[in-house]
A and B are shown apart, each in its own frame.
Chain A
Amino acid sequence: MQNSVEIKNLDLQFGAVKVLQNLNLEIGKGEFLVLLGSSGCGKSTLLNCIAGLLDVSGGQIHINDRNVTWAEPSDRGIGMVFQSYALYPQMTVEGNLSFGLKNAKLPKPEIAKRIKHASEVLQIEPLLKRKPAALSGGQRQRVAIGRALVRDVDVFLFDEPLSNLDAKLRADLRVEIKRLHHKLQNTMIYVTHDQIEAMTLADRIAIMRGGQIMQLGSPDEIYGQPINKYVADFIGSPSMNFLEGNIKNGTFEMGELSIPLDGYEFGDTGAATEGAATMGIRPEHVVTGELVESTPFQVDVEVNLIEPTGSDTLVDCEVAGHHFRVRMDGQSRVSVGEKLRLGFAPARASLFDAKTELRL
């Protein structure tokens, strides 16, 4: 696959603060890449570098095989959508869509054609004569997407476009962005700190931390084989349970408990490394009831707290002194203080080195 955006050894610093360090990233044509990370990890900064809104301190950026490291944002073949919509408030929706095109001296019929196409795709035709103040948040963000759309570019950049919307609208617009991507087949780079957005939209997710990409992979890989403890903890809600112990002779030992590691796929070495380690298991991978009998590892616990969410019920308990959560079906009847038998398959768990926190 041909690359649409290539980032080579990118450095960026504000004064003495190094925000991005030696960052490399290749994004294929038509790919939907999500940059995911906690607040302040440099997602917006990276996106602004790609857009040309920040001058990089080192490295190169190529878009469509052209070195655009020092090109103006408008010459890079990108369109951008911002969290705060950033519409021009004194212009109508139509004015917002056409301002850039008029400035670029495009012929009138071409402008009209592009506005028509964009407003059809985004269903904003009835709004064209209104000003942004007379639009709802969702409509404004559609217009902002439209402004990127009329530029007729190959690469779309989104900086948390849905964060200012309420939960319902966010879900709706998320689906719409996905549909838009299927239809246009553009390259899209999408910044978010909402993991549901990331998992549902992305072809690949880049998990960022401290200005570096920790893991780059499909949503499945990120969820199933997190590369280190940070990623494992960051992805998934409720978050992964961690148990600390030792690996010895192919078992994970933790106080009196010992968990057989048959079926666990070890990384590079392919074999169990002995020593202190952390086992991570997701609450949704722990089973209860009759299913327990078929799992290689079982343990009895006492229910400390229950959190019903409707579709599921989260059960808090303790395993060998570690706080442990289990996701059960919303229909299951459990009560606080009750004894419960849990089980899970180590094959679904993740093991991390206690010191380096890297996946074993």
Chain B
Amino acid sequence: MSSTRPNQLFRNISSKIAAIPMIVTALFVFVGGTIWTVVYSFTNSGLLPRLQWVGLDQYERLWATRKWLISIENLAIYGLCMLVLVFVIGFILAALIDQKIRFEDTIRTVILYPYALSFVVTGLVWQWMLNPEFGVQKVVRGWGWESFTFDPLYSADIAIYGVLIAGIWQGSGLVMVLMLAGLRGIDQDVWKASRVDGIPTWKAYIFVIIPMMRPVFVTTLVIVVTGIVKIYDLIVAQTGGGPGISTEVPAKYVYDMMFQANNLGQGFAASTMMLVTVALIVIPWAILEFGGSKHRD
């Protein structure tokens, strides 16, 4: 072997060449598209993009719009509740199934099934389920409880929770299978050791098993959070943003502005705000997760 170190540029040269198309696509479509959007958010583009600078006007208008503020609030409520509930429900389901129960395959399929449905179908199903005329309320009243009321989609204050129910119904199955895969990856001997040590099951989960499942949790978190931020079709199918504007969300605001109100500039400003929010969450996390990897044990 030669004593000089080979040029780093030519190491794995064939795989680098193979990656070029992907790199180019990523640069043009993602980075290029993002920059283009940010740039045009400072213009007064209407039906078509045009480079006429208006400074921060679009942003000022955005933050003065009630529909946008409600969208943000809804996303916060939906996101927080969804994140917590879907993790808790998904993990508990996975832990229950992991007890070597019978008909595991059937139960797993049934619970995962909603995830195979599109958001549009989910939205329609739950629109009917929550409809007082022929949904849950009708059924319970049919059993004899005449005063039973359950119509979240018809009350502006709580309509977003009606959407939340549909979101959880759809999402917990995925979290469950991911968690189940994580649980199955745990060495059974660790469970045995904790039983010999006399650790109660719930304590073993919290102090031993969940810390061992960290990679699965991170993956699941990324999947769930991206799902939350881009929520759009569920709203369109289930409530259309109503009653009134009580279930509007940012992605829908962007779409409405760009393709219905013919106000591209406003849409770009809103999507830039979404990007900034996601970046504010992701960048510190990425630095923590990957930047310090050399010091992690």
Given contacts A103-B203, A131-B297, A133-B297, contact A90 B211 (CB under 8 A): yes
CB distance from B63 to the nearest CB of A (A): 44
Determine the residue in chain B with the shortest Cβ distance to A78: B196
- Is B284 at the interface (CB under 8 A from chain A)? no
Given contacts A88-B208, A90-B211, contact A82 B195 (CB under 8 A): no
Chain A residues whose C-beta falls within 8 Å of the C-beta of B189 in the assembled complex: 82-86
- Give Cα A247–Cα B65 distance, bound, in whole angstroms: 106
Interface string of B188-207 (1 = CB under 8 A from A): 01101111111110010001
- Residue with the highest number of chain B CB atoms closer than 10 Å, among A78, A79, A80, A131: A80
Chain B residues whose C-beta falls within 8 Å of the C-beta of A84 in the assembled complex: 187, 189
CB distance from B146 to the nearest CB of A (A): 50
- Give Cα A321–Cα B203 distance, bound, in whole angstroms: 65
Interface string of A105-148 (1 = CB under 8 A from B): 00000000000000000000000000101100000000010010
- Is B212 at the interface (CB under 8 A from chain A)? yes
Chain B residues whose C-beta falls within 8 Å of the C-beta of A147 in the assembled complex: 193, 197
Interface contact A48-B198, CB-CB below 8 Å: no
Chain A residues whose C-beta falls within 8 Å of the C-beta of B194 in the assembled complex: 88
- Partner of B196 from A80, A90, A91, A133 at Cβ < 8 Å: A80
CB distance from A32 to the nearest CB of B (A): 20
- Give Cα A72–Cα B192 distance, bound, in whole angstroms: 11
Interface string of B68-110 (1 = CB under 8 A from A): 0000000000000000000000000000000000000000000
Interface contact B208-A82, CB-CB below 8 Å: no
Instruction: For chain B, give the interface size range.
Output: 10 to 19
- Give Cα A75–Cα B196 distance, bound, in whole angstroms: 8
Interface contact A53-B192, CB-CB below 8 Å: yes
Interface contact B199-A103, CB-CB below 8 Å: yes
Interface contact B195-A73, CB-CB below 8 Å: yes
Chain B residues whose C-beta falls within 8 Å of the C-beta of A57 in the assembled complex: none
- Give Cα A82–Cα B196 distance, bound, in whole angstroms: 11
- Is A89 at the interface (CB under 8 A from chain B)? yes
Interface contact A73-B196, CB-CB below 8 Å: yes
Chain A residues whose C-beta falls within 8 Å of the C-beta of B193 in the assembled complex: 80, 82, 86-88, 144, 147
- Give Cα A52–Cα B192 distance, bound, in whole angstroms: 10
Interface contact A80-B207, CB-CB below 8 Å: no
CB distance from B5 to the nearest CB of A (A): 30
- Give Cα A144–Cα B207 distance, bound, in whole angstroms: 18
Interface string of A145-189 (1 = CB under 8 A from B): 001000100000000000000000000000000000000000000
Given contacts A84-B187, A103-B203, A134-B297, contact A90 B197 (CB under 8 A): no
Residues of chain B touching chain A, judged by Cβ–Cβ distance below 8 Å, are 187, 189-190, 192-200, 203, 207-208, 211-212, 297
Closest 4 CB pairs of A and B: A74-B198, A100-B197, A86-B189, A90-B211
Residues of chain A touching chain B, judged by Cβ–Cβ distance below 8 Å, are 48, 51-53, 72-75, 78-80, 82-91, 99-100, 103-104, 131, 133-134, 144, 147, 151
8 A-B contact pairs sorted by A residue (CB < 8 Å): A72-B195, A73-B196, A75-B198, A82-B189, A87-B193, A99-B197, A100-B199, A147-B193
